[in-house]
Structure 1
């Protein structure tokens, strides 16, 4: 009884103590969080289990998956219907798990999924590590797909990077692991994965690259093939041998670190691997490499055979390749993009030899455009109120410590805006950029389709910001279209095997980028650059407008121009960005432009440019002198007291017409009318200016007003 009483007393004391010390609010919420978190996790696991179970039940059998090849055949046609390329799957022979070389299995597991035999379809450790690296690094989640997930994606899904697709991929991977053994999954993967060049499976890849069946793969060959999965086009041994070898060395190192091969096996000479010779491919592959990936956006998900009708002109493509090969300096690469007036890509060349290097310098490479960038400087100036006849001064200037120099090193003094542009005067471009604002110039570039980062430092007016050739060509095409936006496109329509159209290109919405008078004034300047300026080598016997560009130390040469509705851009330079002796935009690039354009416009009538400036009223408002009458309508007395007739002024050699506004003490002299150019259009620069620029008789220059200071690159 005493013991029972003491226990009752102890229990009573415990209750009193608990009542006196209630649990804290934080502990209470923590308990609730743990409880509900556990409940939700349990519920999620239940739903996941059900999803995996239903997915596993709906999966095809192993034999059905072996027999199903879901790759797509794509026929690519030119604008005239000519077949230019057929991209289709090649599967080779199915190799069973027992016959697949062990070194091939080890190579693939080492580089794609090192914990393949220990996870259940999804690798929690790899996923956690990727999330940690993303949180502590640049915020980007690296690839975390296991071999099983890749198989699920390749067989059942597409490659869209969406959360929904990743979740479905994970569920299917778990279902595959539930239904099939690791050996079966690896066999399916190695016989179905894409290795580039249309090759699906290791047997097809082995025959394509090494001319023998996949059952005979050596350690080095297996390393090359395994390295392709990450980026088939980038590491393809037929496109870039060095890249393929470097990637294979990474695979061998991983195999050695994971203990799958010995040190002796890891030191094999990959360079000694004999690759199957491949016939040269037409440069049209540069175009298809740019255009065909757009199908992922343009089309709904489909695996049926399709025909892609493109904008490419076979004859122009051939002419473009020939022009680049014939005119590119030794050791330099070249690229060309040609757009029709609606943005259709007529020709696209990304390099001199696609087999040697498939890197697309027309759509991917970012290089400095040199003085062709002055397009945006002068567009901004024209929009601000300048006209081609306005007077500017070519004189040394300094802006924020930066002092640009002209290409020839000299200065021509006063000239009109047209001449300054035609002769690519860097000091004038710097002054204009400073006046309108470097941010305004950058905004103009973005307005006209420049998608790369644009600097706002003073030197930007000379083309120090790197751009893509296709973007620069697009910008000039918008000027050709009288200031209306142009959207480059390469795919006209897509049809199925039975002729059903599943995609049809629709004309992009047009946006007026600048007023008509700005586009007309810019066309005037561009035409002058070809008629009498730095772009004379681009003349083709009909009206041409364009601009040269040459970067510091002759590392890049540019010419972009248009004629008869076709706009073409040409770039030349070295991939390693080293100087190319003698490379200037007005030489090899302009010559390549002319060689191509003579062919491109041969079936089109010449078109005279619209350079008539219909200025807006705000630019036509009279100054204060208007209110005192027109000086040419009344008599007045000069400083010496002489009576001056209307429209005449007394000079050293008698009366002659007034031209322009005189500075104090300065007397105008008659100006010779400009001589017509070769194509019949008026000469851009007056003979007075040419006299000054070439050392002839030099008139009294006006005193230059203090000017802003420009950049340094010696670019023209």
Structure 2
């Protein structure tokens, strides 16, 4: 550029304090080392002035910039909150879409068919129980008293009719209560969510299941009306004690239809939803009544009922119905349901099962066992019992599996296996009869020793030579063991299985004393051929099954007759011998006036089991008493309480029946030559004097033969 004098000298521009552009250089105070320089105390007056001006300028600028900085911080905070919110929404949406993908397509979703109900009827057509997953028929909402659905809404979901499947207020309250209490006290699930869980999901508590529950709840709300959802709910929810649905609960606890529930009963049932197992009135009536009071208070608060109605219900709380059929026939109903799984593996609709059960006799049997245990149980150290009554075709007329179905559903008549003791001896004697022996055959009642085992008689007395009729009448153990060894334990096992024993039997010498375990039902079944003339039967309780809707017959029981399993002459011999047990032997306390009766008592080792199986020409009944843990009783024997229970039940069973003779019991013993015995093993004995019926008979098996057979 040119100077003012017009010379051609080029000059650089100078920016100074006096420049029109102002001071643009940084003062020392504005630099990072300002504090160091200030502390040194150096600097010119010009610089000091400049620094002072700069500081003033900085303070002024700083004062002007404080507001924007704050706004910037808030802006950044708002920005990142917004961004994180967007990502949270995206994440939740992604999780929801993922969980939705784990469910069937919405367009394919449908309410699962209600599991079929099994309606069990007695022989006369009376309904005695219901089984199946639901155990009760569905009831339309309009058929229920109005306070029944109102009770559920009041205690479970007050805003049911206003929310869309999810109740934000209820959920928020539950979260607050749970956080402040430090434990899980309330759930935020609506009735719709609970229904979705029951219909489609498992009971596990996970985030995944909760999200799926929410999705399904919204689907239910869009597809069904509120009343339809509520109707599905009350008919599908669990109420404890095996009762699914309100009809099953009403029958289970109050022995009435849900259509007939009182306000107090409705409140109790609605209160069970919170904790059905622990609040079930059959288990904890006080807790169930306290919960019902809470429900009534909620109903009054929601103005579903008046204060007067609440007070009336509180004054007379609901109680469990006494002596309902579920207890009397519970064991039979469970057995029927188990058998039905084999007969009809696939059941699509409700079915009606007609049984052979006589409910009047069933009630008598249940009462007789309960009273006997109440009267004698503590004295004899006996806690349990079981009995079976069947006709001579194997149809079960009564069955009791324990002293109380409410206390224990374990079926001791069908499932339990116990040692039958001397009640097993008829199979030993029958095997001997089939090999040529007769009731008049003589055998030795004397001590026996087999490889250190010394079976003894109950009385520890020995009578020497006795006929078999006397031996079985007095239940002499030594004679039974000798007979088992004579015919072979394996043959005894075959005889018992031929007559109806299905449990595993050990073919050893002690089989004669009933050491292998069997069920009460098996023993009754195996005694039936004695009562019906020698025909094997299959114990059964189901007569027919039909569809409850269409009436279509789905199953009819085949003929229970398994053919002849015992020849008539042997039937005659056995009935004469077993009749003597009742007339003069161990079962002489059996009391059935006017009826010919036969049977056999049994007491297992250490008095652990007490049995009596007795029969007439019409019915067979088996009674067992003992303890579930097989602990010894206080000398309870088959000749005592079991005979008394048998007599009480059979008197009721034979009421108004004309007496009939036992098959062949009045006939003389036929002369049958010995058979199926190895020649030479049984030496001949001298002629036994016995009047005109005297004959030559095989000799007594003595200790010499036992040593020969068992080497000891």
TM-score of the superposed pair, with normalisation by structure 1 = 0.58
In the alignment, which residue of structure 2 is the partner of 1:589?
642
1:378 aligns with 2:378: no
1:513 aligns with 2:565: yes
1:88 aligns with 2:130: no
Worse overlay, 428-437 or 313-322: 313-322
2:631 counterpart SS class: coil
Separation in structure 2 between the aligned mates of residue 615 and residue 102 of structure 1, nearest angstrom:
88
Residue pair 1:281, 1:354 contacting (<8 A) in 2 also: no
1:499 aligns with 2:551: yes
Separation in structure 1 between the aligned mates of residue 404 and residue 354 of structure 2, nearest angstrom:
24
1:356 aligns with 2:407: yes
2:212 paired residue among 181, 193, 207: 181
Change beyond 3 A, Cα 1:441–1:184:
farther
2:331 paired residue among 278, 281, 286: 286
Residue pair 1:310, 1:491 contacting (<8 A) in 2 also: yes
The structural deviation recorded for 1:447 is: 2.2
1:600 aligns with 2:645: no
In the alignment, which residue of structure 2 is the partner of 1:577?
630
The structural deviation recorded for 1:337 is: 0.2
1:414 paired residue among 418, 441, 465: 465
Deviations 1:490-529 (A, max 9, x none): 1212232343322222213523223232232222221111
Change beyond 3 A, Cα 1:308–1:97:
farther
> Which structure 2 residues correspond to residues 113-512 of structure 1 after superposition, within 5 A?
181=212, 183-184=214-215, 197=241, 199-200=243-244, 221=275, 238=282, 277=320, 279-282=322-325, 283-299=328-344, 301-328=346-373, 329-331=376-378, 332=382, 333-495=384-546, 496-512=548-564
Residue pair 2:527, 2:620 contacting (<8 A) in 1 also: yes
Separation in structure 1 between the aligned mates of residue 484 and residue 284 of structure 2, nearest angstrom:
42
Change beyond 3 A, Cα 1:395–1:517:
same
Name the larger-Rg structure: 2
Worse overlay, 555-564 or 579-588: 579-588
Separation in structure 2 between the aligned mates of residue 397 and residue 420 of structure 1, nearest angstrom:
15
In the alignment, which residue of structure 1 is the partner of 2:65?
none
The structural deviation recorded for 1:341 is: 1.2
2:563 counterpart SS class: coil
Residue pair 2:457, 2:476 contacting (<8 A) in 1 also: yes
Worse overlay, 462-471 or 347-356: 347-356
The structural deviation recorded for 1:297 is: 2.7
Between the two proteins, the alignment pairs up a number of residues equal to 482
Unaligned segments of structure 2, at least 5 residues: 1-100, 140-148, 157-164, 179-195, 203-207, 221-231, 254-264, 286-316, 694-698
In the alignment, which residue of structure 2 is the partner of 1:70?
114
Worse overlay, 475-484 or 506-515: 506-515
2:388 counterpart SS class: strand
Separation in structure 2 between the aligned mates of residue 600 and residue 473 of structure 1, nearest angstrom:
15
2:543 counterpart SS class: strand
Residue pair 1:203, 1:213 contacting (<8 A) in 2 also: no
Change beyond 3 A, Cα 1:216–1:460:
closer
Residue pair 2:444, 2:702 contacting (<8 A) in 1 also: yes
Separation in structure 2 between the aligned mates of residue 204 and residue 561 of structure 1, nearest angstrom:
38
Residue pair 2:423, 2:612 contacting (<8 A) in 1 also: yes
Residue pair 2:481, 2:509 contacting (<8 A) in 1 also: yes
2:535 counterpart SS class: coil
Q: Which has the higher contact order (CA 8 A, sep 6+)?
A: 1
The structural deviation recorded for 1:551 is: 1.4
The structural deviation recorded for 1:345 is: 0.6
2:590 paired residue among 520, 534, 538: 538
Separation in structure 2 between the aligned mates of residue 223 and residue 567 of structure 1, nearest angstrom:
39
Change beyond 3 A, Cα 1:80–1:58:
same
1:706 aligns with 2:704: yes
Change beyond 3 A, Cα 1:569–1:186:
farther
Deviations 1:272-299 (A, max 9, x none): xx99856443311121111133222323
Separation in structure 1 between the aligned mates of residue 692 and residue 174 of structure 2, nearest angstrom:
86
The structural deviation recorded for 1:378 is: 1.4
Residue pair 2:418, 2:517 contacting (<8 A) in 1 also: yes
Separation in structure 1 between the aligned mates of residue 654 and residue 551 of structure 2, nearest angstrom:
33
Residue pair 1:368, 1:466 contacting (<8 A) in 2 also: yes
Deviations 1:391-439 (A, max 9, x none): 1010001122211000001101001111111110000111111122222
The structural deviation recorded for 1:303 is: 3.8
Residue pair 1:527, 1:545 contacting (<8 A) in 2 also: yes
1:550 aligns with 2:603: yes
Change beyond 3 A, Cα 1:193–1:620:
closer
The structural deviation recorded for 1:300 is: 6.2
Separation in structure 2 between the aligned mates of residue 577 and residue 434 of structure 1, nearest angstrom:
28
Deviations 1:113-132 (A, max 9, x none): xxxxxxxxxxxxxxxxxxxx
Residue pair 2:436, 2:673 contacting (<8 A) in 1 also: no
The structural deviation recorded for 1:709 is: 8.0
The structural deviation recorded for 1:446 is: 2.2
Change beyond 3 A, Cα 1:603–1:203:
closer
Worse overlay, 197-206 or 491-500: 197-206
Residue pair 1:202, 1:214 contacting (<8 A) in 2 also: no
Change beyond 3 A, Cα 1:550–1:182:
same
The structural deviation recorded for 1:215 is: 8.6
Change beyond 3 A, Cα 1:208–1:510:
closer
Residue pair 2:120, 2:353 contacting (<8 A) in 1 also: yes
Change beyond 3 A, Cα 1:452–1:398:
same
Deviations 1:326-355 (A, max 9, x none): 333224322110111111111111122222
2:500 counterpart SS class: coil
Separation in structure 1 between the aligned mates of residue 628 and residue 241 of structure 2, nearest angstrom:
24
Change beyond 3 A, Cα 1:706–1:312:
same
Separation in structure 1 between the aligned mates of residue 571 and residue 628 of structure 2, nearest angstrom:
34
Separation in structure 1 between the aligned mates of residue 284 and residue 617 of structure 2, nearest angstrom:
38
Separation in structure 2 between the aligned mates of residue 375 and residue 672 of structure 1, nearest angstrom:
27
In the alignment, which residue of structure 2 is the partner of 1:635?
none
Separation in structure 1 between the aligned mates of residue 403 and residue 488 of structure 2, nearest angstrom:
39
Worse overlay, 402-411 or 485-494: 485-494
The structural deviation recorded for 1:671 is: 6.2
Change beyond 3 A, Cα 1:458–1:56:
same
Residue pair 2:486, 2:701 contacting (<8 A) in 1 also: no
Residue pair 1:545, 1:561 contacting (<8 A) in 2 also: yes
TM-score of the superposed pair, with normalisation by structure 2 = 0.58
Separation in structure 1 between the aligned mates of residue 272 and residue 528 of structure 2, nearest angstrom:
54
Deviations 1:178-202 (A, max 9, x none): 9x93655799999957676453379
